[in-house]
Chains A and B, each alone.
Chain A
Amino acid sequence: MRWIRRNLLVIAGLLTLAYMILPNIVVMVFSFNKPQGRFNYAWQQFSLDAWKDPCGVADLCDSLSLSFQIAAWATVGATVLGTLIAFALVRYRFRARGAINSLIFLPMAMPEVVMAASLLTLFLNMGAELGFWTVLIAHIMFCLSFVVVAVKARVMSMDPRLEEAARDLYAGPVQTFVRVTLPIAAPGIAAGALLAFALSFDDFIITNFNSGSTVTFPMFVWGSAQRGTPVQINVIGTAMFVIAVVMVLAGQFLSSRRKNNAQPQ
């Protein structure tokens, strides 16, 4: 009993963690299921069928590749636009700074459904054809603010003396930017880009409103919840999970080794 009381915090924390991981485990286990009927909600029988043929369901891999394309372009767009804004906000004083800060904050402080609906109103009024381009425009719009926040945090903590030093050593403005400023800001930009990719790839609400008949991966999963969920969805989910976790852990392992090597023996 005493042991429980002393470790209450750790127990509570681990329970929360279990709550968070449980669905991922269920997704993984059910990727080996052989369901009866259209839905994959009850365990029937072990099978590797879905793993052998992950693209065996019509349109699934098309939607996946479409989501990748949109996420990639949205990342490029949002990262470029967001990085420029972040630099302007941190490095320069100018009028309308307050207004611009609010304009950047508001998309994050608004329920997504409001943004989605208003964008659709705009597109309908303009007579735009809903599809790839409207989804891409929308994704760049809502990823932008997150990139700005991520890059700003990094640029703000940057020591301005490093750039002064570069100038003192007769580096031109371009050289200073490319050789000093950009490398220091890079982790912030990378974090912003990763966030944008993840947000865009996984977005449902804004895509649901503005995609017309275009089917991204989240849209495919949504549709499958009504029509019948193929096991392949669980396979894709599991594969994404495993690949990402391995990549993160490998990255951490490499960076900790580099840190150890950098230390004098």
Chain B
Amino acid sequence: MTVTDAPPLAPSPAQPPVRKASTRRRLVPYWLLLPGILWLIVFFALPLAYQASTSVQTGSLETGFQVTWHFQTYWEALQEYYPQFVRSLLYAGTATLLCLLLGYPLAYMIAFKAGRWRNFLLVLVIAPFFTSFLIRTLAWKTILADSGPVVDVLNTLHVLDVTSWLGWTDGSRVLATPLAVVCGLTYNFLPFMILPLYTSLERIDGRLHEAAGDLYATPATTFRKVTFPLSMPGVVSGTLLTFIPASGDYINAELLGSTDTKMVGSVIQSQFLRVLDYPTAAALSFILMAIVLAMVTVYIRKSGTEDLV
């Protein structure tokens, strides 16, 4: 997602004497852009405008919807569904944090310790992608099944007592609880964290580590002062690539959760496709978009890597 400016092109040596030709040349980039940008305007920007207008309409399917500038829809939607919003941000945030904690060691290991296993390990990171992610998410139903080995082990170790007390699980069940949903989210978005982390770690010059060692830095200090700051671009793009899709996801919540773990994506989906209350659905998805864009902007400012996007 880097947008560095390319070096300006040297003027071509043979300047055409005719003015017409140079005008034609100046138009070249616009012709190259035209089809793709038109596509994005018609099927990305225009739909957003349509949705904005839908969100301030009132009416019903029978009578039709009219724009009445009914902004209360936003307020009502927020009032009714704020638990789902809070839950979405909470689950997505937790999953992002877990992805960072789990993904960093693996990315670090592949970048610095893997040696000739590097390519093989990278294939293993990307490999799960090749099986449809819905099939893999369904596999978690088997893994976390009520009397399955995972739940048995957690039960024997009394882990589930603690997590139940915290409200993450429900008695001796893991499926249909927040823990299962967060587990699924973390799993699904881990590669999106690992790959950017790996790319930015791999770029770090190994001699910097040696230099830090020569200056009597302990491994921990080297990590804190050299490696981690230099991997910041990877951390930022990894968290964004994890958090943004996770906040709108409803697949994990639907397949691994229960009605108590519904995320805002589920609400938008059912308002749009089942309830057919288009204004509320449009308002909900606009609120989600606004929250995510606002958080992303603040986050990018804070982490000081504005040139990243």
Complex interface: stretch among A52-60, A183-191, A215-223, A257-265 = A215-223
Contact B103 A16 (CB under 8 A): yes
Which residue of chain A is the closest to B119 with respect to CB atoms? A252
Closest Cβ of chain A to B75, distance in Å, is: 19
Closest Cβ of chain B to A138, distance in Å, is: 7
Contact B289 A27 (CB under 8 A): no
Contact B39 A208 (CB under 8 A): no
Complex interface: stretch among B16-24, B108-116, B154-162, B210-218 = B108-116
Closest Cβ of chain A to B145, distance in Å, is: 6
Contact A209 B272 (CB under 8 A): yes
A68 within 8 A of B: no
**What 0/1 pattern do residues 54 to 88 of A give for CB contact below 8 A with B?**
00000000000000000000000000111011011
Which residue of chain B is the closest to A233 with respect to CB atoms? B135
Chain B interface size band reads 35 or more
CA distance A241 to B126 in the complex (A): 10
Residues of chain A from 72 to 129 with CB closer than 8 A to chain B in the complex: 80-82, 84-85, 87-94, 100-101, 103-115, 117-122, 124-125
Q: Which of chain B's residues have a CB closer than 8 A to the CB of A160? A: 7, 9-10
**What 0/1 pattern do residues 134 to 168 of A give for CB contact below 8 A with B?**
00011011001000110001001000100010010
Contact B113 A94 (CB under 8 A): no
A48 within 8 A of B: no
6 contacts between A and B (CB under 8 A): A22-B143, A113-B248, A122-B50, A240-B130, A241-B128, A244-B127
Closest Cβ of chain B to A235, distance in Å, is: 10
Contact B269 A111 (CB under 8 A): no
Contact B251 A204 (CB under 8 A): yes
Contact A109 B293 (CB under 8 A): yes
With contacts A24-B127, A221-B138 known, is A103 near B40, CB below 8 A? yes
Q: Which of chain B's residues have a CB closer than 8 A to the CB of A178? A: none
A237 within 8 A of B: yes
Contact A153 B248 (CB under 8 A): no
A169 within 8 A of B: no
Contact A20 B190 (CB under 8 A): yes
Contact B106 A41 (CB under 8 A): no
Q: Which of chain A's residues have a CB closer than 8 A to the CB of B141? A: 41
Residues of chain B from 39 to 68 with CB closer than 8 A to chain A in the complex: 39-41, 43-48, 50-51, 54
CA distance A191 to B19 in the complex (A): 39
Residue numbers of B with Cβ under 8 A of A are: 1-4, 6-10, 12-13, 26, 28-30, 32-33, 35-37, 39-41, 43-48, 50-51, 54, 102-103, 105-106, 108-110, 113, 119, 121, 123-143, 145, 187, 190-191, 240, 244-245, 247-251, 255, 265, 268-269, 272-273, 278, 281-282, 285-286, 288-289, 292-293, 296, 309
Contact A84 B32 (CB under 8 A): yes
Q: Which 3 interchain pairs have the tightest Cβ spacing?
A: A111-B248, A13-B109, A92-B29
Contact A82 B1 (CB under 8 A): no
With contacts A24-B131, A103-B37, A141-B43 known, is A113 near B142, CB below 8 A? no
Closest Cβ of chain A to B70, distance in Å, is: 16
With contacts A27-B136, A221-B134 known, is A16 near B105, CB below 8 A? yes
Additional pairs, 6, CB under 8 Å, beyond known A110-B244, A245-B130: A93-B9, A114-B288, A118-B282, A121-B50, A205-B251, A236-B135
Closest Cβ of chain A to B42, distance in Å, is: 8
